[in-house]
Chains A and B, each alone.
Chain A
């Protein structure tokens, strides 16, 4: 099973709403990632979790709040978003967790959540 599952697939939310994106993997991977992708652009890294601890935060605004409840699950909590936050949000996972172990490991991506902020 090389699947990363993201829910929901589509989400429309108002600027005052609170919502959460969910990601799940059962490959035993110990690193999980959130990426943001705008149309025709490459994915941009937001957060990295390694062994359920936040290891990288790419200066993401606090209206995005990640959470890793256990080694298989990754959430992204959204609050007071802006229309420019509309994008495809991608979750990924890979083996290992230490910085050196990650060097040659492959990342597997979910299908993404298409988020529209109105």
Chain B
């Protein structure tokens, strides 16, 4: 059983479209992190959300932490080919950083 469920797992869109990636759990997390990973590289931390209901913006990326701190979402506005990559949500559980299954995003020019 996956503690963090990400959806969708694969997404292929045209440049300029908007998209939302979801990260859901039945458990409460004190914080959740979002990473982006390009092929052959390590994950790069995008943001950490800590407070229930929190919204953080990073240029065209908007991150939200659910009020109950069980879920989070990542919304990308006007996607660009440079946004292509694997998006991972992660949370801590008993000292371990665990990941969702990941969302592979392909943005076509």
Measured CB to CB, the residues of A under 8 A from B are 4, 6, 33, 40-43, 45, 48, 50, 55-56, 88, 90, 92, 94, 99, 102-112, 114
Contact = CB atoms under 8 A, between A and B. Distances in A.
Interface of B: 30-31, 33, 35, 40-45, 48, 50, 86, 88, 90, 92, 94-102, 104
A48 B95 contact: yes
Given A45-B96, A92-B97, A104 B30 contact: yes
A56 B31 CA distance: 21
Contact of B40 (A92, A108, A112): A112
Nearest to B29: A103
Nearest to A55: B95
Given A40-B102, A104-B48, A112-B40, A99 B95 contact: yes
A56 B96 contact: yes
B19 to A, nearest CB: 18
A30 to B, nearest CB: 13
A111 B97 contact: no
B45 A106 contact: yes
